[in-house]
Structure 1
Amino acid sequence: MIYFDQAASSFPKPVEVGEAMVYALNEIGANPGRGGHELARKASGIIQDTRERAARIFGCSDPKKAIFSPNATAALNQALKGLSWEDGDHIIATTFEHNSIRRPLENLKQTYGVDISYITWDESDEIFIERMNKTMNSKTRLIVTTHASNVTGSLLPLEETTKLASKYDVLTLVDASQTAGHMRLHMKQMGIDMMAFPGHKGLMGPQGTGMLLIEGDIELQPIFQGGTGNFSEEPNQPDQMPDKLESGTLNTPGIAGLNAALKAFEERQNENVPRETILTETLLNGLEKIEGVTCYGPSKYAHKMPIVAFNILDIPSQEIAMILDSHYKIAVRPGLHCSPLTHETLNTTEQGVVRASLSIYNTEEEVVAFIKAIEEIASSYNLI
């Protein structure tokens, strides 16, 4: 199997990720923060080490504000719904948002009467920032943006966005689902107030893990309440972080795997040109030469994530993906990718797109085989 669906979930994982998970499951097994015995202390040590490592890597000043969650979606919901909202408050987002942002925003709109503006980005950072600047008003309280499109791999101008937000004293929330693990991110240096990421995509950690990192004095109310292992005599949720936003037993084996993935990322994060970037350029260059193939998003020379979105003629993307899977043993992702506003922008709502996404474990031989498969498929449709 050629696995080109890394933007959905990475595969394979670094060997040390699975080893760390098995060790935590088979050798520790205890509940972190729920006891003073040796195994509980070891479990707590895994949690604390991972919290500190994530804060260090991503430039979060206070490790206590590095909050664990089951995934990026849960982290984004905590950030968005944990802020206090009033009728008429204004939020700015983009047309590239995944449903993990769009749906909570629409919920805030229906629940509190919050006004939402979705800004279009069409390959021009300058025009995008100008549009955002014109959309700002006295009621704007938050800019929430994906860092990179999960459909096309396009990188949005994050640092220009945070500078604009700072100018107007507006908070920023960044969805780093497609960039964490692929590039260096430092919240304090980049002016990011809150950032969410999953463990299982670019970081190549396990599914069922994610984090919300908070920089500075931002007051969030928990969207869940329950046991925290501390302050058990209190009827109300503790105010202390991280307990305030972490109720219930944490996924210790998953977090152990995430810690191993973060260690691996620390070792490779300063690479000049990531290997998957070179492979993506080769893939895009090959697809653009095939008659009947339309590629979407930035050119092969633009700085982007290792994602290539394309279609063949007017053939449904699901049909192409099915052929690749059944005949060529190649895994890709077709359809709307939980990002309908992106497809409205690309005019691909009816057809969707075929998305091929790569990681450091993919090879040039796989890229060559993929291009050949698309050539054969396109040729067969061109003859009809």
Structure 2
Amino acid sequence: DRRIIYCLVAVFLAVPILFKWKMNPGVMSTARKGYDAIEELEPEAGRIVLKTRDLLAVLFNVKDPARIVFTKNATEALNTALYGVLKAGDHAVTTSMEHNSVMRPLNDLARLGLDLSVAEADRTGEVTVDMIRKCIKDKTRLVAVTHASNVTGAINEIEKIGLLCKQNNILFLVDAAQTAGVVGLDVERMSIDLLAFSGHKGLLGPQGTGGLFIRDEKLLKPLTRGGTGSLSYSEEQPEFLPDCYESGTLNVIGLAGLGEGIRFILDRGIDRIMAHERRLLEIFLNETDGDGRFVLYGARNALKQTGVLSLNIRGFAASKVGEVLDRKYGIMTRIGLHCAPRAHKTLGTFPDGTVRFSWGFFTGEKDILKAVRFLKEIAENMKHQS
């Protein structure tokens, strides 16, 4: 029973594929040779980057793979989008369920003159198209919405919100850090103009990988400028994709791992992956919902959320519960505010936060049942100690 149960997928997905990458042996061996092997490495490295870009284009239904630019994580992608589009005098809309990777840049831009509206989600953490519609103004430039909350797992009405933005000529930015590789994403059907994603969660890639889909590069200034390997005779940044937004050396080895993760997803199928996560959520909910010792946050509906669930044991701090889960039972969760303080204010869990469980395709039903059993033991023991 002391085997570690990993319920931190919303942070980082540690799965067998990460430690058994089918990385191209030529790239790995050449990378170890150093500078003498640059000419040998570059063609193969370029092919790996292009292939990973192509795989992402298939996954997200992007017609031109060059419109997917690589970043080191979703945070950098979101900053590229927000600082690249918005300026003083513009109006932007976001929600109360956003991660600090959205809120901190927007608050900084607000100090510089951006007009910012925040659509308040309901107590389940869900964001509807009507909530966004009420915030739109004549000068609204951008709507930024998370596809799914990293606190509750609530999946938002992205397709409806995207259509609303399209009808009003408003740019639509989606934070897909929690859903890429888990929930179906279609930038055309969902009318997405900017899609930010991380590579190290649902996409099964290593840390240090992420990216941004850009529908129209004319609307977006690059966040960084520098060497791109193209137009080297010029001291001006290239204006074409993807080079305009990819200055400096790319994480080729990381992108090779990301490519293998995406291949795995495409081979298995998004529907199968999501069905597995929903089945685990159903098991967790069936075992805990209605138990008065627990407070569960979010929709508590397997059809409306990802494999993320936040809870508290009544009368006890999340930090204490998380500590016991980890030290005594080997269950790894994330406690606290999850870099989303406004979301916790919406849920009424600020400032102590919650215990967040998150799982993925490699989590088994037995893992969930064992985690719930240990959680109930903790609740019972704490009741007797109080």
Matched, 1:281 2:294: no
- For 1:217 and 1:350, the matched residues in 2 are separated by 40
Runs of at least 4 residues of structure 1 off by over 6 A?
123-127
Q: CA deviation at 1:27?
A: 4.0
Kept after mapping to 1: 8 A contact 2:27/2:41:
no
Count of residues paired in the alignment: 381
TM-score (norm 1): 0.93
Deviations 1:2-60 (A, max 9, x none): 1011010001142686331776333456899xx98332100111011111211222122
Task: Determine the structure 2 residue equivalent to 1:258.
Answer: 258
Kept after mapping to 2: 8 A contact 1:125/1:156:
no
Kept after mapping to 2: 8 A contact 1:292/1:382:
no
TM-score (norm 2): 0.93
Task: Determine the structure 1 residue equivalent to 2:67.
Answer: 65
Matched, 1:56 2:65: no
How do 1:68-217 residues align onto structure 2 when only pairs under 5 Å count?
A: 68-87=70-89, 89-111=90-112, 113-122=113-122, 128-216=128-216
Q: CA deviation at 1:219?
A: 2.4
Q: 1:26 aligns with which of 25, 29, 53?
A: 29
Deviations 1:68-120 (A, max 9, x none): 00000000000111125132x11000111000000010111112x00111112
- Give me the CA root mean square deviation: 2.3
The one-letter code of the counterpart of 2:276 is R
Q: CA deviation at 1:127?
A: 8.2
Residue 311 of structure 1 aligns to a residue in which SS? strand
Deviations 1:188-208 (A, max 9, x none): 121101101000011111010
Structure 1 residues 260, 301: CA separation in 2 closer, same or farther (over 3 Å shift)?
closer
Deviations 1:169-219 (A, max 9, x none): 100000001110102111012110110100001111101000101124542
Kept after mapping to 2: 8 A contact 1:291/1:378:
no
Task: Determine the structure 1 residue equivalent to 2:46.
Answer: 44
Deviations 1:216-255 (A, max 9, x none): 4542111111111111111111112111111100001000
- For 1:193 and 1:173, the matched residues in 2 are separated by 6
- For 1:250 and 1:286, the matched residues in 2 are separated by 45
- For 1:22 and 1:81, the matched residues in 2 are separated by 38
- For 1:237 and 1:218, the matched residues in 2 are separated by 13
Q: CA deviation at 1:310?
A: 0.2
Structure 1 residues 265, 299: CA separation in 2 closer, same or farther (over 3 Å shift)?
same
Q: CA deviation at 1:293?
A: 0.8
- For 1:17 and 1:61, the matched residues in 2 are separated by 31
Residue 156 of structure 1 aligns to a residue in which SS? coil
Matched, 1:327 2:325: no
Q: Which runs of 5+ in 2 are unaligned?
A: none
Kept after mapping to 2: 8 A contact 1:17/1:205:
no
Structure 1 residues 220, 17: CA separation in 2 closer, same or farther (over 3 Å shift)?
farther
- For 1:308 and 1:290, the matched residues in 2 are separated by 15
- For 1:124 and 1:137, the matched residues in 2 are separated by 26
Kept after mapping to 1: 8 A contact 2:92/2:143:
yes
- For 2:26 and 2:149, the matched residues in 1 are separated by 35
- Percent identical across equivalent pairs? 36
Residue 144 of structure 2 aligns to a residue in which SS? strand
- For 1:21 and 1:144, the matched residues in 2 are separated by 37
After TM superposition, the structure 1 stretch with the greater mean CA deviation from structure 2, 90-99 or 13-22, is 13-22
